[in-house]
């Protein structure tokens, strides 16, 4: 690799990446790192104020309707960028297969955001099925409604609603799911109880476990500080992913299965870099690291991407089970993704 021309190196780099990148795209050579996201974060959500009792959790998805329009547009963009990563899409397809979703089913997604997952569910459910997306944010639902339902699927219905109080009678859907919602809730158990109530058959939950976030960076001490702080303060529950199977068992679901995934990226033009930037910005804002440290840390990630040594990963977990309203959960199974 040492003797290759710049062009060859760029081609090799793109070939190694999971994401299709144009090796001639100038964006590869002009990394963007911007700590200005700090200024667009919503107000700190937990009282008393941080000065008195240390930093507060600033998870924007936990307080979605307090976000500015600009911040909501950024979040919508990030959800779509994440959703478009081929590996993310493969993980979702694997989950739907494991949970045996089939054409003709009625499925509700709670916390649907811009509709990334709902659109894939609609493909599975087909013309004879029905997909409903629920979200607490009118603005994100608006983003979702502007995108067409996939060809060959019935029109997705988007409904304003709260995970804690779903506007449907018991057993209304064949299946319900939440994808990266529970980590942002103060009371995930209440949401699972509601999902179980409105579901006749399959309940599915999928989440990232922020504590498992990995970035290759030469400054180990700084990396630890930034990632730990982000897992503790940029999301309500940085350990959510690992808790999913247990939560379903506790809610009396039967035949609870679990698929673990390690999601990985090898360039800084994808999704995980957006977490790195947000975590670094938050660590600066909370005084855990200095601004020059934050900038240097993020810059190294982009430099690594340019030279082909960028590596980042994050664990995701999918758990699913059968809602039987009169039977307690008896068994647990483990599904290994193929
Ligand atoms: C991280 S996003 C996930 C969006 C989508 N599932 C995806 O994977 O692209 C979390 C979503 O949950 C929504 N949300 C947060 N609290 C909620 C609640 N109590 N009820 C319904 N939706 C909620 C947010 O508005 C946001 O759209």
Two structure tokens written together for 44: 């700190």
Work out whether strand 199-208 and strand 312-322 pair parallel, antiparallel, or are unpaired: antiparallel
Domain of residue 189 covers: 13-322
Q: Which of 118, 184, 318 has most ligand 1 atoms within 8 Å of CB, for mutation? A: 184
Maximum CA extent, the chain: 67
Compute the average pLDDT of residues 324-329: 53
Q: Which of 42, 91, 117, 135 has most ligand 1 atoms within 8 Å of CB, for mutation? A: 135
What are the backbone angles phi and psi of residue 106, rounded to the nearest 5°?
A: -100, 130
pLDDT tens for 290-324 read: 999 999 999 999 999 999 999 999 999 999 999 98
Distance 208 CA to ligand 1 centre (A): 13
Identify the band that residue 208 occupies on the pLDDT scale cut at 50, 70 and 90: very high
Q: Is residue 333 part of a domain?
A: no
Q: What percent of the chain is helix, strand and coil (3-state, nearest 5)?
A: 45, 20, 35
Look up tokens 């307080």; give the residue.
63
Q: Is residue 255 part of a domain?
A: yes
Look at 278 and 325; give whichever has higher pLDDT.
278
Compute the average pLDDT of residues 180-201: 98
Q: What is the pLDDT of residue 338?
A: 45
Of the chain, the end-to-end C-alpha distance in Å amounts to: 32
Q: Is residue 165 part of a domain?
A: yes
Two structure tokens written together for 194: 């509601």
Alpha-carbon distance of 147 to 144, in angstroms, equals: 6
Task: Enumerate residues 6+ apart whose C-beta is below 8 A from 308.
Answer: 1, 9, 12, 13, 16, 266
Q: Is residue 290 part of a domain?
A: yes
Closest ligand 1 atom to residue 116 Cα is 9
Compute the average pLDDT of residues 203-227: 98
pLDDT tens for 77-135 read: 999 999 999 999 999 999 999 999 999 999 999 999 999 999 999 999 999 999 999 99
Q: Is residue 338 part of a domain?
A: no
pTM of the complete model: 0.83
Two structure tokens written together for 152: 């060959």
Q: Is residue 8 part of a domain?
A: no
Distance 210 CA to ligand 1 centre (A): 16
Q: Whose CA is nearest to atom 13 of ligand 1?
A: 111
> 271: Cβ below 6 Å to ligand 1?
no
Q: Which of 109, 136, 187 has most ligand 1 atoms within 8 Å of CB, for mutation? A: 136
Compute the average pLDDT of residues 194-211: 98
Q: Is residue 2 part of a domain?
A: no
Q: Is 164 exposed, middle or buried (0-12, 13-18, 19+ CB in 10 A)?
A: middle
Dihedral of CA 162/167/170/174: which sign?
A: negative
Closest ligand 1 atom to residue 206 Cα is 8
Identify the band that residue 143 occupies on the pLDDT scale cut at 50, 70 and 90: very high
> 115: Cβ below 6 Å to ligand 1?
no
> 275: Cβ below 6 Å to ligand 1?
no
Distance 9 CA to ligand 1 centre (A): 40
pLDDT tens for 6-46 read: 444 443 443 434 333 333 333 333 333 444 544 555 444 44
Q: How many domains, in total, are found in the chain?
A: 1
DSSP notation for 123-170: HHHTTTSEEEEEES-HHHHHHHHTSPPPTTSPPPEEEE-BTTB-SS-T
Among 215, 176, 180, 208, CA closest to 192: 176
Two structure tokens written together for 81: 């960028």
pLDDT tens for 144-181 read: 999 999 999 999 999 999 999 999 999 999 999 999 99
Look at 329 and 169; give whichever has higher pLDDT.
169
Q: What is the pLDDT of residue 324?
A: 83
CATH number (domain holding residue 157): 3.40.50.150
What are the backbone angles phi and psi of residue 218, rounded to the nearest 5°?
A: -70, -20
Q: Is residue 104 part of a domain?
A: yes
């Amino acid at each position: 690799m040492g003797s290759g021309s710049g062009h060859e190196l760029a081609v090799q780099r793109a070939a190694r990446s999971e994401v299709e990148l144009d090796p001639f795209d100038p964006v590869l050579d002009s990394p963007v790192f911007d700590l200005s996201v700090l200024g667009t974060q919503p107000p700190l959500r937990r009282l008393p104020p941080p000065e008195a009792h240390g930093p507060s959790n600033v998870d924007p998805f936990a307080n979605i309707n307090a976000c500015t329009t600009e911040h909501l547009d950024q979040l919508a963009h990030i959800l779509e960028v994440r959703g478009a990563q081929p590996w993310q899409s493969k993980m979702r397809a694997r989950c739907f297969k494991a949970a045996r979703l089939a054409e003709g089913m009625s499925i509700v997604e709670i916390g649907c955001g811009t509709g990334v997952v709902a659109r894939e569910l609609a493909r599975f459910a087909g013309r004879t099925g029905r997909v409903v997306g629920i979200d607490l944010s009118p603005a994100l639902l608006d983003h979702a409604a502007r995108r067409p339902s996939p060809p060959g699927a019935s029109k997705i219905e988007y409904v304003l609603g709260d995970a804690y109080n779903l506007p449907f009678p018991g057993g209304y859907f064949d299946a319900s799911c939440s994808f990266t919602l529970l980590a942002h809730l103060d009371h995930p158990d209440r949401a699972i109880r509601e999902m179980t109530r409105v579901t006749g058959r399959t309940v599915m939950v999928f989440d990232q476990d922020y504590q498992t976030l990995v970035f290759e960076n030469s400054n180990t001490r700084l990396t630890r500080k930034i990632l730990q702080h982000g897992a503790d303060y940029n999301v309500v529950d940085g350990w959510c992913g690992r808790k999913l199977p247990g939560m379903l068992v506790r809610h009396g679901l039967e035949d609870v299965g679990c698929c673990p995934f390690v999601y990985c990226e090898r360039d800084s033009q994808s999704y995980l870099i957006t977490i790195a930037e947000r975590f670094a910005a938050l660590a600066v804002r909370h005084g855990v690291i200095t601004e020059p440290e934050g900038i240097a840390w993020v810059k190294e990630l982009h430099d690594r991407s340019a030279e082909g040594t960028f590596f980042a990963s994050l664990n995701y977990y999918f758990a699913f089970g059968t809602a039987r309203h009169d039977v307690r959960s008896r068994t647990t199974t483990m599904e290994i993704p193929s």
